[in-house]
Structure 1
Amino acid sequence: MIRKIGVLGISLLCFAAITSCEKDFSEVGTNVVTNDKFETGEILLDVEITPIDLQNVQADNINANISDYWLGVYNNPNAKKIEASIVSQLGYISGLKTQENVVDGDTIFSLDKVILKLPYQATAKTSGGVTSYKLDSILGDPNTAVDIQVLQNETFLNTLDPLDPTKKNSFFSDAEYLGNTVLNENSTPYSFKPKASDTIFKFNRIDRSISLANTTTYEDTLRVYNAQGANIPFLAIPLDLTTMKSIFWDEFENTSFSSKDDFDEYFKGIKIIATGNDGAMVPFNLATTPTPSVDFYYTKSIVEAGNVKDTIQSKYTFPLSGIRNSLYKMSPIAMQPPANKFVIQGTAGNSAEIKILDNAKVQELKANNWLINDASLTFYVDQTINTEANIIPQQLFLYQNKDNGTGSVSPTQLTDSYIESSFFGGFLQKNDNESPEKYTFRITNYVTNLLNGEADFTTEPLILKVYNPTDNPIVNNILNTKVKTYNWNPRSVTLLNGNEASNGTKRAVLKISYSKEK
């Protein structure tokens, strides 16, 4: 269900709910204070947790504004190993030239280098007048190399569903893409170790100022600048000059590049594939400035009477734009959690089904005629495994799989996520030692309406997952109660389940606080 709701509408909705509750509490509160006819209490209810092994997630940018495309390998023994790769179309450029009447008195174009450039997301630090950078997010061991292979994609990427062109297409994280043509320089995998110190890239190019036949080289330096003019860190992967000349350079002035449609049909994109047993992975934002791109560096030689009079260095830039997808190759968890624990992991990792109340328990609670003051679900972190707060999910998310009457379920927002969004929770809470401790969700509205017998509130299982920005139910004042299947957060956490014998007071429970008449 999608409907438009403004900030005022949300405020009025919340105000109405608060006013109703205040009326109830005003009546109850007066009796409690002056007549002493009401008392409060709380109960802890066991929950049943069933881990869910995810097979894939939606990974394209067709139906969502994806911010992070992870690249690399992250091997956490307590979660699935991830080999994260990227597939992307290239932007179209018109009016390309590789020659201008190659005779005396004209300009000759010479291709010098082709480089795939991916700017890192990094934070600048200045000390003593010297600026350094720290990569914003990095998981795993950056000192262990990951192999990166750049391949030509030969699967056509289309925004429309080929089986039903009236609908948008979708690509999942385990999709297969054709194409085995290696574009790496010398067909050799690039050894990837993400470093914030990579703010320059040096390469050799022929000194064409002497003559066109000269083979002497000189060292050139490339830098990437942000909008403020600062030189920032970036990943530079050199591509094979001969291959890229054949595929791209020699085709610039042919029909393959005569229009965007012709170009997209001719060159369907690139695959940036990461492989390895261990290493590190980092996110790249493919939609910001400076733009990730494939750059063709070339020299224009001004020739007169067979002599080179002048040379000009320039480049053609093909941004990684259009349809982009993430690939997540997931391997089973090396160290499976014991029966009293479970793993929650983003991307195509693990979620969990949470059964909190069945129909019999609902009827039992309804018979009590309680006024529900608060209902919360708490999940404690296994602190023997998760000792560092910064590498586990900073937020989890809770929703419900509702029977849609067609033999399947519809992932649906809990009303608390938008009616009581500031109290809904799910954020990582730390203890006094700054160690990760727990995640708590407030689901008072859901439980209250369930016990009141409201038709839209059912006992179907809740689903616990790693929070993703697309899980936000309200974007630009639009309420969408449908939960999307996107997730590009690769972090994981091991939680304690509802086993009281093993986990004691830190077991997962539903706590209900109530008021009742004496």
Structure 2
Amino acid sequence: MKKIFLSLVVIAAVFTVSCDRDFNTLGSDIVGDGHYEFDRYEVQNLSAYTVKTGAVQSNNLVINSLGVYSDPAFGETISSFVTQLELPISNPDFGIDVTFDSVNDSVYLYVPYFSRQTATGLGIEANTYELDSIYGDLNGSFDLKIYENGYYLSDFDSQDPTVRQRYYSNQKGLISSSIQGGLLNNSSNTAENTQFKFSKEEIIIYETDGEGNYVDAEGNVVLDNTQRVIKERLAPGMWINLDKATFQTKIIQASSSNLINNNVFKEYFKGLFFDVASNGGSSPLAQLDFSKGYVAIQYHSKNEIGGESRKNIIKLNLKGNTVNFFENSFSQDYQSVLDLPFGVNQDFLHVKGGNGSVALIDLFGPVNPETNVPFELEELRSNNWLINEALLIFSIKNNGQKNPKRIFVYDADNNAVLLDYIYDGTTATDSKNNKYIHDGFLKVNSNGEALQFVVRIKNHIDKIVNNDDVLSNKNVRLGVSVTENINISALANVFEVDPLNGLEKLPAASVMNPLGTVLYGNTSAIADDKKMKLEIYYTKPN
């Protein structure tokens, strides 16, 4: 047992930290200036191991990924996606004498990226943006094919209509075998298909006349670009021209009985399939909120017989049921970890999102057969300590991976959040940084090198050690996953439960995040300063 000194001033600072703090800085949240004396106990018996998830439930995620990402530690992931579409209104009226102008009318897809504006352009100059949540080589590309989906994505299970339908990350074949028609993103611009790239450029739409010429504020055709009038500015996003004939036939000329409401429409037009393949070069992968995207169909029609033909637009929202598909080519090192026997204490823990892996942690070691309680836990309970803090500390082994910004620790026996998660009501400017006392943020040094993850689990440990209720003080197995958003505590099912590890569910926010991290375990082969630790800070009774 080792004694250290903590300042209550420092501890108070942790609990009143600004919502704009730097969550990635490795600070001194624990070691104070010695005004008050506390004791530290380091748990002696910890074991942890990596557990493969296999295919995972990936329908109706809040955030989806699209693209190809190669990670030095974990291998390559290809993410494809399918989504239903929704009409903006039921049974839309397209007018009369509907036509598609070959010059002025078009059909295009727009899905915004996560970005922030960094500078404002002067006049008609473009604003400058920085992209977020894109991994890999931004200058790289991949092969993107967009098709009409022919497989109906059901709301409810066909065998039990009271249960929501689940779709999994390995079911791409259901969609790829049911494609309707030809390629929709068939532009001659390869940046929209075979060499698709994520661009950080703002999208600017200018006013034009009826002939496709740019005009000034008075409607006069101009050749000087500075005289153009901006009609709309869009933040950086996917902007892809789609086949006009398909949408003219399928939407504008559709029978009104197929457009009467969105339930009927989704059975008629079953959505879009974004099929991704590697083109052999360096590639990026982006996380996207497809629900903010749309397909815009431009057309001309008249409001009345003999009236003037006017340009109109209808936007089909990318909403409804969705599924993300993952195809992995794991690295040899990562695959060898996944193949290790279940439950063996490991030197390194590989925690990866998508259909990757989680880590499981067993606390306090061997169990007293007479009480069914670990010997070490029995000793802790006999001390009657006032527990002030408990920190689960993971050191990071940098194998070239892009580490996630945050990890998540949960009750893996009951598939539930910990008390520390429930009790932490702190909020931040960026909601992904909420519950910052509970922590789990990536800690880096001044050079940006990834060092640690620290998770506060004081309330969980206090419940185990000091609660006399045998129904609520059970020593549960802990799970560790990556997380895309700490506010999402929903669970996702695994496709096939391995009877050896019994893993049935994992945090859905882990499925959304494609990144992984390599953590040091707690074996004798690991240097003491790198070992996974559970540190308990306490006050002795009088």
Under a length normalisation based on structure 1, what TM-score does the superposition of the two structures give? 0.72
Q: Equivalent residue for 2:409? A: 398
Equivalent pair of 1:110/1:300 in contact (CA under 8 Å): no
* Superposed CA offset, 1:450-483 (max 9, x none): 2334321222321000124365569xxxxxxx97
CA separation in 2, counterparts of 1:490 and 1:125? 26
Following superposition, the deviation at residue 417 of structure 1 comes to: 1.9
Q: Equivalent residue for 2:528? A: 504
Q: Equivalent residue for 1:90? A: 85
Q: Equivalent residue for 1:45? A: 44
Following superposition, the deviation at residue 439 of structure 1 comes to: 0.8
Deviates more, 1:265-274 or 1:329-338: 329-338
CA separation in 1, counterparts of 2:477 and 2:347? 19
Equivalent pair of 1:471/1:484 in contact (CA under 8 Å): no
Structure 1 counterpart of 2:250, from 240, 247, 250: 247
Equivalent pair of 2:94/2:301 in contact (CA under 8 Å): no
Amino acid corresponding to residue 436 of structure 1 in structure 2: A
Bigger Rg over Cα: 1
Q: How does 1:447-486 map to 2 (within 5 A)?
A: 447-452=461-466, 453-455=468-470, 456-469=472-485, 484-486=507-509
Identity %: 24
Q: Equivalent residue for 2:132? A: 136
Deviates more, 1:231-240 or 1:186-195: 186-195
Amino acid corresponding to residue 88 of structure 1 in structure 2: T
Q: Equivalent residue for 1:345? A: 352
Change (3 A) 1:515 1:238: same
Q: How does 1:268-347 map to 2 (within 5 A)?
A: 268-276=270-278, 278-288=282-292, 292-300=293-301, 312-336=310-334, 340-347=347-354
Structure 2 counterpart of 1:442, from 445, 456, 460: 456
Following superposition, the deviation at residue 118 of structure 1 comes to: 1.6
Q: Which has the higher strand share?
A: 1
Change (3 A) 1:208 1:83: closer
CA separation in 1, counterparts of 2:417 and 2:520? 24
Change (3 A) 1:230 1:373: same
CA separation in 1, counterparts of 2:271 and 2:533? 49
Where in structure 1 are there 5+ consecutive unaligned residues? 1-13, 15-32, 210-218, 403-409, 475-481
In structure 2, the residue corresponding to 1:447 is in which secondary structure? helix
Following superposition, the deviation at residue 302 of structure 1 comes to: 11
* Superposed CA offset, 1:32-81 (max 9, x none): x9xxxx984523424211101122333333xxxx5422211111121242
Change (3 A) 1:471 1:235: closer
Change (3 A) 1:152 1:382: same
In structure 2, the residue corresponding to 1:248 is in which secondary structure? helix
* Superposed CA offset, 1:209-253 (max 9, x none): 9xxxxxxxxx9x9x9x99xx64422212222334444433432x3
Following superposition, the deviation at residue 384 of structure 1 comes to: 5.5
Under a length normalisation based on structure 2, what TM-score does the superposition of the two structures give? 0.69
Structure 1 counterpart of 2:513, from 489, 492, 498: 489
In structure 2, the residue corresponding to 1:423 is in which secondary structure? coil
Where in structure 2 are there 5+ consecutive unaligned residues? 1-14, 16-34, 214-222, 338-345, 366-373, 425-434, 491-504
CA separation in 2, counterparts of 1:472 and 1:94? 32
CA separation in 2, counterparts of 1:144 and 1:39? 53
Change (3 A) 1:342 1:298: same
- 1:413 matched to 2:407? The reply is no
Deviates more, 1:123-132 or 1:499-508: 123-132
In structure 1, the residue corresponding to 2:320 is in which secondary structure? strand
Equivalent pair of 1:393/1:466 in contact (CA under 8 Å): yes
Q: Equivalent residue for 2:150? A: 154
Change (3 A) 1:419 1:427: same
In structure 2, the residue corresponding to 1:192 is in which secondary structure? coil
CA separation in 2, counterparts of 1:128 and 1:240? 33
CA separation in 1, counterparts of 2:51 and 2:209? 53
CA RMSD of aligned residues (A): 3.9
Equivalent pair of 1:148/1:191 in contact (CA under 8 Å): yes
Structure 1 counterpart of 2:440, from 403, 426, 446: 426
Change (3 A) 1:352 1:236: same
Aligned residue pairs, count: 434
Amino acid corresponding to residue 240 of structure 1 in structure 2: D
* Superposed CA offset, 1:297-323 (max 9, x none): 224489999xxx965333222111122
Amino acid corresponding to residue 113 of structure 1 in structure 2: S
Amino acid corresponding to residue 168 of structure 1 in structure 2: R
Following superposition, the deviation at residue 135 of structure 1 comes to: 1.3
Change (3 A) 1:469 1:40: closer
Q: How does 1:51-66 map to 2 (within 5 A)?
A: 51-61=50-60, 66=61
In structure 2, the residue corresponding to 1:86 is in which secondary structure? strand
CA separation in 2, counterparts of 1:502 and 1:151? 51
Change (3 A) 1:361 1:56: same
